[in-house]
Structure 1
Amino acid sequence: MIALSRPSRRAAAVGAFTVSAALGATLLVTSPFTATAAGPGELRIHDIQGNTRVSPHVGEQVTDVAGIVTGVRAYGSRGFWIQDPRPDDDPATSEGIFVFTNAAPAVAVGDAVTVSGTVTEYYYGGAARGDTSLTQISRPTVSVVSSGNELPAPVVLDADAIPAAYAPEGDPADGGSIENLPLQPEKYALDLYASLEGMNVRIEDAAITGPSTAYYELWVTLQPEVNATSRGGTRYASYDDPNPGRLKVESLVPVAQQPFPTANTGDTLGGVTEGPLDYDEFGGYLLAARELGTVVPGGTEPETTRAQDRKELAVAAYNVENLNPSNDQAKFDRLAAGVVHHLASPDIVALEEIQDDSGPVDDGTVTADVTLTRFTDAIVAAGGPRYAWRGIDPEDGRDGGQPGGNIRNVFLFNPDRVSFTDRPGGDATTATSVVKQRGKAALTHSPGRVDPANPAWDSSRKPLAGEFSFRGTPVIVIANHFNSKGGDQSLYSRYQPPTRSSEVQRLAQAESVNAFVHDILRVQKNAQVVVLGDINDFEFSATTDALTAGGALRSAVFSLPADERYTYIFNGNAQVLDQTLVSPGIKKFDYDIVHINSEFAGQASDHDPQIIRFKP
């Protein structure tokens, strides 16, 4: 996955047709007509919200819209929420709305106010991203009528309140958008959330499925029994089952006044959490907590896998998240402890996201010896073996990832347990191929890159192939880091189903690796091949189907119970991104995903490592 920075989230609207940007954020007023003004007090909030995702009054000037202040945000996207205490009888029309002030709001919770301003639809990151808009009143004039009023009763969100179906199918006549479809909050979860946009909502004793982050947020599920993992999370089981009970939680209290709690997957957000229902691009619908519950520890601990026995070859894969010499020693030490103590010092470790020796500094450096020396030294200090390594330096700036970092795949191996068969000649642009030697499949270049000239690998990490020998038996290992999901429409997109545009490149990459494995098997039918790494795609994806096509490989993740299949958590969804696949020559194996990162607020990496053990 790619790391997302958190931009300034607002730009002020100036006029009815303004498009203004703040670090990629775009505010659009989408009315094609000249702005008009409703008479004082003529429109109530539910009139402005309407029964679709887009206000029927977008672009219009509204006057003296009445409501009670239910939440105030004095940081980031500054403004406040108001709610009409006299609702209509239509469950599709929200009674709450956000008032964007751009400066610190001069109102307090419980104030009765009237607001005049322009109705706008705000698209985080710009309309082209495909996200749902947020209806708001911009450039407001606010009058406080009275203070200390009772707040509108919250809508309680729990398992019974959330529809099982996630979203309606988009309108083909509108490009697959659900934006203008009438909301059906009793039928679809996304419609329910849209119908509550800006309203006061409450959750109680909610299961935490995504750990707290550096951006002061966590994810809960309101349906803890749906697709539950073995450790208290929620598993992303299929494209048709994205877990509608997930909800992000943030606090309206600045962290300087009240630190945001530290939480891990498996904990509970105990007691009452209450506040307006909001929306942003980094998680969709969220509860902006005026009142935040207390984190109750669930006892989730990092896992430890068993050690391989003398006759087992242990091969692991670990995405070490942009490891480079500028990282502090604590990161090296934690990653090393993961290899030694939690993975039990595997014989071979395929690493992803090893950066060059200058890290993200874009200075033309492509070597990674400093990075790898420091990491292998940390492994020794943690009590592990003195690993050797093999890799191929990429061409500068050609393999994607963090600019300047030149990330690549690298093999570590324990020379006391396994030997590496060196066949020189491989470099960034030279492809390794398969030949027969003594009746066995062998690589022409080891280490070597698989099909590096194929356009499938443009601006992406090239697979690294290596030939190893364990107890006299050759094993070919192919380390991978496929194209990221950057650019895909989100699960909460206004286009349903969302477009997964990044999958096109991963499909081509999977076909390239699959063809190479078929080349090996044509030379030696029973060759023992391990393909592993950060595939950046799910076990149920077309990418996995392409990797396994023709019986060349099978994914080891299916050997695990369904509730243990995840290596990464994104927006509260535990999911498979990292996979290990084996050729038919490896008939029996023991596979484990070792959960030491994804579920925890304190992470050495954002991925969990995986390990496979077998007897060649």
Structure 2
Amino acid sequence: MTTRHTAALGALTAAALTSTLLASPALAADGDPLRIHDIQGSTRLSPYAGEEVREVAGIVTGVRTYGSRGFWFQDPEGDGSAATSEGVFVFTGSAPSVRPGDEVRVTGTVGEYYYGGRDGGNQSVTQISGPEVTVVSSGNPIPAPRTLGSRSVPSAYAPEGGADGGIEDLELRPSRYALDLYESLEGSNVRVRDARVAGPSTEYAEMWVTVEPRQNPTAGGGTRYGGYDEQNPGRLKVESLTPLAEEPFPAADTGDTLSGTTEGPLDYEQFGGYYLAARELGTVEDGGLEREQTREQRRRELAVATYNVENLDPGDDEEKFARLADGLVNALASPDIVALEEIQDNTGPEDDGVVAADETVAKLIDAVVAAGGPRYAWRGIDPQDKQDGGQPGGNIRNVFLFNPERVDFVDRPGGDATTATDVVERRGRATLTHSPGRIDPTAAAWEDSRKPVAGEFRFRGRTVIVVANHFASKGGDQSLHSRFQPPSRSSEEQRLLQARSVNAFVKDVVKVQRKADVVVLGDINDFEFSATTEQLTDGRVLRSAVHALPECERYTYVYDGNSQVLDQTLVSPGIRRFDYDIVHTNAEFADQVSDHDPQVLRFRP
């Protein structure tokens, strides 16, 4: 960036001054010099992309000295059109020397920048790059902000795309669609007031708020994602323009309030989409959210839980093990059986060929005992090196913990990383050929993904088959804020195959024993209303326990300010009555030991 003040014009060489004066600036359709709204246009793409613009006027509204360095400036007058933004970002590449309130003239090249690359499906940011900036004056009033609130944000989220699904070329209709509203304000000064926190603050100095707090509220104060047509348009991410070294970002839990005024330019990025780059940040008021605890199982009840422990390995600090153990003992009331997801090998992410996880599990079991819980026994199957996806080198897998004082594990040897377990009849009961054993581990459905592990348990003389799962992630899916609407869910294809595989296994069980007790649980990485869940429950051999809860309680994960179901527990028809609980201990809190909430099922086999 080249910055100069009008007082410095005399220092220009004669040649440079002549060049400046003879340049032909791009003009608006009416022949006047270009203004910011001309550059932004009335669609998502600038009509001047790739062209040089000269002496574009405006007031600086925000400065970013980290990451994608630059500043926003805005025309204080505007053209009166709701579809054309009056603000735009200037990419400088280094820390800008301008300040909010500076009146500037900007010369540079207009472009559309796609965070994550154009193939990622994200929208673009209109910007001016390679700038020469003239500061005309300083200390000017910043253009009045547009207030985002429940009355200003449309209830419809996005227009439907054209023949290719794209919405970039569509005329913006900001009064009808939330994504159009946000795009029409891209680069402009906006504000929110007393906004409810819908997603906790993170290590990346961000939080999600909602300006429509009555929209699909959860019991914890969040916003629930309950269907593909319930995107919750009032969600908005908030980041601070003040570097963390100068002012720490406030900690906030879901249900808190970002009180007062939060104001700054509206921007867009790959992770989260539109966000408010706060020049002025409100204060966080505690909403009183507390971590939940479930009740203890009764003597004749079997308690089966699932918990994604987020890449656990022996190298994690003692506090993580202690907090996970406290959650198992106190929040989950020491379940009889626990299916754990994301147990890593003994050397964690170090890619050294190690696949055993006995040290990882033993360290967690010891922490449970130290927290006052039972000394769990465990079963699992080591994967082949680098064949189960997840963090490179970590060899994550599913593992069973069980309380031997209450539950017996039926060991049937022979199961390994590539040998499938089958269902056979023994004395009128459905049993496994290998326990623990993997389900169809060599099938294409499980390529580069965690394989489900099945275990045969005995409780008070009854056989219970439990299947621990961690389905393929949503990586590669287009975001809700994608420039393609509706966004594609390409990762769903593999989960559908995985669901079909598990569903076929359960069908084999109930063919042998119609009233068999089967629990399928874990990180399904998909919603209770998804095609994945429909495939899992095909033929009514399984039903998802989440539907037993009120809608406001149905969530195990918070993503982009949406509280949603990713972890599920499903039961066979033989389990007619049960008590199910999602124990909200992590996902809504800034201080979390895992990004998933655990869940527990209690029933009498």
How far is 1:37 from its partner? 5.1
Counterparts of 1:90 and 1:99, CA distance in 2: 22
* Cα contact 1:557–1:579 (8 A) shared by 2: yes
* Cα contact 1:71–1:275 (8 A) shared by 2: yes
How far is 1:256 from its partner? 1.2
Corresponding residue for residue 24 of structure 1:
none
The 5-angstrom pairing of residues 19-98 of structure 1 reads: 38=26, 42-98=33-89
The alpha-carbon distance between structure 1 residues 466 and 203, as it changes in their structure 2 partners (threshold 3 A), is: same
Aligned partner (choices 221, 224, 230) of residue 213 of structure 2: 224
Look up the equivalent residue of 2:597 and give its one-letter code. Answer: D
* Cα contact 2:25–2:33 (8 A) shared by 1: no
Query: Are 1:329 and 2:321 matched, yes or no?
Result: no
How far is 1:545 from its partner? 0.2
Counterparts of 1:97 and 1:36, CA distance in 2: 22
Q: Secondary structure at the match of 1:244?
A: coil
How far is 1:257 from its partner? 1.1
CA deviation digits over 1:503-543, x for unaligned, max 9?
00000000000000000000000000000000000000000
Query: Are 1:493 and 2:451 matched, yes or no?
Result: no
The 5-angstrom pairing of residues 463-612 of structure 1 reads: 463-612=452-601
The 5-angstrom pairing of residues 148-167 of structure 1 reads: 148-167=139-158
Corresponding residue for residue 434 of structure 1:
423
How far is 1:36 from its partner? 9.1
The 5-angstrom pairing of residues 157-196 of structure 1 reads: 157-172=148-163, 175-196=164-185
Q: Secondary structure at the match of 2:306?
A: strand
**Unmatched runs of 5 consecutive residues or more in structure 1:** 1-11, 13-34
Counterparts of 2:26 and 2:315, CA distance in 1: 58
The 5-angstrom pairing of residues 431-470 of structure 1 reads: 431-470=420-459
Counterparts of 2:223 and 2:411, CA distance in 1: 44
* Cα contact 1:39–1:63 (8 A) shared by 2: no
Q: Secondary structure at the match of 1:353?
A: strand
Query: Are 1:142 and 2:133 matched, yes or no?
Result: yes
Counterparts of 1:114 and 1:106, CA distance in 2: 14
Counterparts of 1:128 and 1:136, CA distance in 2: 19
Q: TM-score, normalised by structure 2?
A: 0.95
How far is 1:42 from its partner? 1.3
Query: Are 1:132 and 2:123 matched, yes or no?
Result: yes
Q: Secondary structure at the match of 2:547?
A: helix
Q: TM-score, normalised by structure 1?
A: 0.94
Corresponding residue for residue 9 of structure 2:
none
* Cα contact 1:77–1:102 (8 A) shared by 2: yes
The 5-angstrom pairing of residues 237-386 of structure 1 reads: 237-386=226-375
Query: Are 1:422 and 2:411 matched, yes or no?
Result: yes
How far is 1:591 from its partner? 0.2
Corresponding residue for residue 95 of structure 2:
104
Corresponding residue for residue 8 of structure 1:
none
Look up the equivalent residue of 1:335 and give its one-letter code. Answer: L
How far is 1:566 from its partner? 0.1
CA deviation digits over 1:24-63, x for unaligned, max 9?
xxxxxxxxxxx99516971100000000000000000000
The alpha-carbon distance between structure 1 residues 100 and 508, as it changes in their structure 2 partners (threshold 3 A), is: same
Corresponding residue for residue 5 of structure 1:
none
Look up the equivalent residue of 1:507 and give its one-letter code. Answer: L
* Cα contact 1:434–1:444 (8 A) shared by 2: yes
Counterparts of 1:238 and 1:435, CA distance in 2: 39
Aligned partner (choices 202, 215, 231) of residue 213 of structure 1: 202
Query: Higher Cα Rg: structure 1 or 2?
Result: 2
Counterparts of 2:321 and 2:270, CA distance in 1: 32
Look up the equivalent residue of 2:521 and give its one-letter code. Answer: L
CA deviation digits over 1:135-164, x for unaligned, max 9?
000010000000000111100000000000
**Unmatched runs of 5 consecutive residues or more in structure 2:** 2-22
Counterparts of 2:591 and 2:572, CA distance in 1: 36
Corresponding residue for residue 23 of structure 1:
none
Corresponding residue for residue 4 of structure 2:
none
Counterparts of 1:397 and 1:391, CA distance in 2: 17
Counterparts of 1:527 and 1:134, CA distance in 2: 56
What RMSD over aligned residues (CA atoms) do the two structures have, in Å?
1.1
Runs of 4+ deviating beyond 6 Å: none
CA deviation digits over 1:273-329, x for unaligned, max 9?
000001111110000000000000000010000000000000000000000011001
Counterparts of 1:489 and 1:329, CA distance in 2: 37
* Cα contact 1:37–1:60 (8 A) shared by 2: no
Corresponding residue for residue 28 of structure 1:
none
Query: Are 1:233 and 2:232 matched, yes or no?
Result: no
Counterparts of 1:410 and 1:85, CA distance in 2: 60
Q: Secondary structure at the match of 1:441?
A: strand
Question: Percent identity over the alignment?
Answer: 69
* Cα contact 2:357–2:382 (8 A) shared by 1: yes
Counterparts of 2:576 and 2:230, CA distance in 1: 32
Counterparts of 1:431 and 1:280, CA distance in 2: 44
Look up the equivalent residue of 2:440 and give its one-letter code. Answer: D
* Cα contact 1:449–1:465 (8 A) shared by 2: yes
